Structure 1
Amino acid sequence: IVVAHPSFARLGDVESFIDQRISPLLEENAIYLCWETFSGKRRFLSGLEGIANFCQKRKWHKACFDFSHIHEKQEKILEDIDRHLDLIKIFHVSNRITEQKLQHLPLFYKNADLDFHQILKFLKGRDFSGGIVLEYLPQYHSYLKKDAQVLMQISGGQNHPRL
């Protein structure tokens, strides 16, 4: 799995390059290219819906869902994930406080927007077995070990999901 940020461009300007140059390399090497979710119109892929539309007919193109880059309410996020879980190969998990424009916070950060106990149980209930990456700002790296342990506890073991 390779994760890429969609750059600032129009899809029409990069689509043929991706299809002619990138997709054959992915196929030849059996590598998934996961496009990371971002909100906004300036990137050539925007949000999970945009990525889903792009990946529909491209076997080796999938999604990386990053919770800090999608500024929806948790209920909407879970609906979107449920609808496209077969497309998502990896999650970048961290919390956020949208009102203060804070992102990449620890999962269980006080007064954060998302309830990761509920989100992780949701993923476990859907048998998600892809990768999960804890993605925190450097000043919060001291939380990584503890949060990884909670993540493993909720997920039920080392093989589900992959860290």
Structure 2
Amino acid sequence: MVGSPDFLTGKGQDQAPEFQELESPEGELHLRFYVASGNEFALPATGIKEVLSPSPDRITPIPNVSPLLLGTLNVRGQVIWVADLGQFLGDSNPLNTDRPEIPVIAVEDQDMMLGLAVDRIVGMAWLDIDEVDAPSNVPDSMAPFLRGEWVIEDKSDKYLRLLDQIAILRSARWAA
């Protein structure tokens, strides 16, 4: 097959006769995800170090720390704290840790890294920053960590909220 002239020239039965142009994405790349309460959020891809799916037994609980913290996780020799993002934002529903894997979004700013445990990751999406509205109808516990929100599919009660990972990382709430 490799020696076939069709392989070397890129011509074959399943090849399109002409190049297809890819559409340029609009906006900026974001990671979309849900917390335990069912609220959907997004984080800018540029602020995410990596996305992990460790089993719950890899997260080591630490006594006498904030109840928002699930414990620590060793990521290739670096120990990072893992927090329940939903509870941090004021949700009363704790994250279900009785499952095979817990999605964790590692965010970083300068030398600080934190793992944000979430309920479900939707995936990556190009979102237009120019269409972000000021947050409305948000709890006071969540407001300092939001950059804005998008209305989803013209439903006035469904929002995709844009988080500020640096505000989350630097919050005094972790000391509580």
| TM-score scaled by length of structure 1 | 0.24
* Higher radius of gyration, 1 or 2: 2
| TM-score scaled by length of structure 2 | 0.23
Kindly indicate which of the two structures has a greater share of residues assigned to strand: 2
Q: Which of structures 1 and 2 has the larger relative contact order (alpha carbons within 8 angstroms, sep 6+)?
A: 2
Kindly indicate which of the two structures has a greater share of residues assigned to helix: 1
